[in-house]
Amino acid sequence: MQVCSSLPGNRSWIRWLFLMDESALERYFDDSIANDSCLSLEEELGVQSPAPAPEDPSFLSGKAGPSREPGEELDLSFLPDELSTQEEPGCHDDTETQTAALDVSQDSGIIPDYNSQDSTAAADPQQGVSLLGVGASPFCPMTPMTPMTPMTPVTERSGIIPQLQNIVSTVNLGCPLDLKFIALQARNAEYNPKRFAAVIMRIREPRTTALIFSSGKMVCTGAKSEEQSRLAARKYARVVQKLGFPARFLDFKIQNMVASCDVCFPIRLEGLVLTHQQFSSYEPELFPGLIYRMVKPRIVLLIFVSGKVVLTGAKERAEIYEAFENIYPILRGFRKQ
């Protein structure tokens, strides 16, 4: 399994796949995952803001950039319909009350500045942008303004969305396969029967790896979403088909999903294991992270002192989101000592 997308040359995950037990998993994690600095998060910048998304004026300012002119009334036409109707000339009054109602962690010292700037009708585009940013707050805090993923979870509590890093799926091609023949005819295949009884095939887009067995069963790993996994599996099936086998696409099933995120504050793991002893296992001599086995939903979370959390064991995306929403208040409890 991969948190980073470096696949070539790293074979230990194959062994992991078939040992599939916790100790092997943890040995793998010894290899740098604990200090893995949010590679995925660097990729998905738009969705990893830790603060509640609607208070994210920079997003709007980014969009507003080219379209506004100084001194003009705020142009909110690019926003979704139900939201733009909220816009009134006197929206700044709403802003004040709205921001008061928002999370107290917002520094109220800054908002009056903007309001005073607004009353002087500043011509500077930046002012307009900041106003726009603040003016965005009348919107319903429930509506995330970040780019939508196909299944948007309600994140009113944490504002953090775990990013999927790896999906493992299986499919039955429905016919016995000649692995030697496949290894000979396919460019992207490798087969070493003494080491492992399956052909290892890779495709470039989506960047995934498949293990194809002589029975016709196939395991596809490395995709970043369920749809990508399905597309990749179909491509592998198509390759096998082109090689002359009567391959079909039966019983496609997602077996495991891995996601990660960052809560952006340090966590006292010793405290967490004391209060949640029945779920947690923390052995710093063996592994730097705390292993939290959540019962409902049945997900294993690896929690690190840096605030990074890895969630695994899910068959569906909703389980991951639910597990994270369950753990977030617990972690917040350990934020301030």
Partner 1 sequence: MSGSGVSCPGCGSSNIVDDDLYSQAQMVCVDCGSVVSEGVLAHDPNGGSDVSYSWTTAVTRKPCVNLVKGLQRVKAICRILRVHKEIEDLSQAYYKQAYQHQSFIKVSLQKKEVLAGCCVLVSCRLLNWPITMGTMSCLLDADPMAVGVVYQEMVKVLSIEAPIVNVTDVMEAHSQEYKISPLHVPEQLAENSKDLAKRAVALVELAADTWIVTGRKPIPIMMAAIYLAWQSLKPSKQRLKFTLDRFCQIAKVNKHKAALKRITEMREVLCKLGREIPWLRAEVTPDNVARQVDDILKNRYALLRRALRTHEDALQAEDSLTEEAASSRASEPVEHTPTASAVGLCGLNSERTQQPGDGNESPCKAPELQSDSQETQESVPNWGKRVLFAPPCVTHPKRRRAGQPGLQDVTGDEEISDSEIDSYIRTPREAREFALTQKILSLSESEKS
Nearer to partner 1, 154 or 184 (CB): 184
257, 288, 320, 327: which one binds partner 1 (CB under 8 A)? 288
CB of 15 closer than 8 Å to CB of 25: no
Residue from 134, 152, 140 nearest 56 by CA: 134
* Residue of 48, 34, 49 lying closest to 3 (CA atoms): 34
Among 292, 304, 321, 328, binds partner 1 (CB under 8 A): 304
**In terms of CB distance, is 23 or 85 closer to partner 1?**
23
Q: Smallest distance, Å, CB 159 to partner 1? A: 11
Task: Compute the least distance from the CB of residue 72 to partner 1, in Å.
Answer: 18
Asked whether position 34 contacts partner 1 by CB under 8 A, the answer is yes
- CA angle, 151 then 257 then 291, to 5°: 120
Interaction of residue 67 with partner 1, rule CB under 8 A? no
Q: Which residues 6+ apart lie within 8 Å of 57 measured at CB? A: 129, 130, 132, 133, 134, 136
One residue of 14, 17, 41, 83 binding partner 1 per CB under 8 A: 41
Residues in 88-117 at the binding interface with partner 1, rule: CB under 8 A: 105-107, 110-111, 113-114
Is position 25 an interface residue for partner 1 (rule: CB under 8 A)? no
C-beta pairs of 71-78 under 8 Å, 24+ apart in sequence? 71/121, 71/123, 71/128, 72/128, 74/128, 74/131, 74/132, 74/135, 76/132, 76/135
Contact 152, 162 (CB under 8 A): no
Sites for partner 1 among residues 220-249 (CB under 8 A): 224-231, 234-235, 238-239, 242-243
Q: Which residues pair with 285 in a beta bridge?
A: none
Q: Which listed residue (17, 25, 27, 326) binds partner 1 by CB under 8 A?
A: 27
Which residue of 22, 82, 190, 316 would you call a contact of partner 1, by CB under 8 A?
A: 22
- Contact between 50 and partner 1 by CB under 8 A: the answer reads yes
Nearest distance from C-beta of residue 307 to partner 1, angstroms: 7
Segment interacting with partner 1 (CB under 8 A) among 12-20, 27-35, 209-217, 294-302: 27-35
State which of positions 117-146 bind partner 1 (CB under 8 A).
126, 129-130, 133-134
What backbone phi and psi angles, to 5 degrees, belong to 253?
Answer: -145, 135
Secondary structure of residue 325 in the 3-state scheme: helix
Please, which residue, 86 or 280, has the CB nearer to partner 1? Answer: 280
Element (H, E) at 171: strand 163-172
